[in-house]
């Protein structure tokens, strides 16, 4: 069985996706060039908005989660892990981390990709403010 959460967001002209250890999705509508880990803005969900059942399963030790990022015809998969230490209460952001660092914004840890690792074809799509982005989070339970 799988538990799936779908998030819709948009691209932004300042998306660079050059951060080496994280990638972030935010509800914020504006983005400065300093936000180099952000890959999508105006998201319809943040960490706190995820359903209790999804959070409960993501908090299991070594729970594997996949993030499917779709922008037009370009698709990318990022694999990461949940943890009992996850807080999942941030009202604005969700962050995937290559490290094991956890804060209220952390969605998953030990990710196999950060913003810098995403295909530049995808990043090109994400730098268009009119580009709708579909992000599918899946946990196998």
Question: Tens digit of pLDDT for each residue in 69-94?
Answer: 999 999 999 999 999 999 999 999 99
pLDDT score for 132: 98
Given a cut of 70, the residues of the chain with pLDDT beneath it are none
**Which secondary-structure segment (H or E) carries 55?**
helix 52-58
Residue 35 has a pLDDT of 86
Query: How far apart, in Å, do the first and last CA atoms of the chain sit?
Result: 5
Burial environment of residue 65 by CB neighbours within 10 A (0 to 12, 13 to 18, 19 or more): buried
From the candidate CATH numbers 1.20.1300.10, 2.60.120.630, 3.90.105.10, 2.40.37.10, the one assigned to the domain spanning 2-140 = 2.60.120.630
Sheet holding 74-81, edge to edge: 2-10, 132-140, 64-71, 74-81
H or E segment at 124?
A: helix 120-126
**pTM here?**
0.97
**Residue 141 pLDDT:** 82
């Amino acid at each position: 069985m799988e538990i799936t959460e779908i998030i819709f967001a948009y691209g932004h002209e300042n998306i660079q996706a050059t951060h080496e250890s994280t990638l972030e999705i935010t509800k914020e509508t504006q983005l400065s060039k300093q936000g180099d880990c952000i890959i999508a803005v105006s998201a319809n969900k943040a960490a706190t908005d995820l359903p209790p059942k999804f959070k409960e399963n993501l908090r299991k030790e070594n729970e594997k989660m996949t993030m499917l990022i779709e922008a037009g015809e370009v698709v990318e998969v990022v694999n990461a892990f949940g943890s009992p230490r996850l807080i999942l209460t941030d009202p604005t952001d969700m962050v995937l981390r290559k490290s094991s660092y956890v804060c209220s914004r952390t969605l998953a840890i030990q990710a196999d990709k950060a913003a810098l690792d995403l295909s530049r074809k995808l990043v090109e799509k994400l730098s268009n403010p009119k580009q709708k982005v579909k992000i599918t989070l899946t946990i196998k339970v």
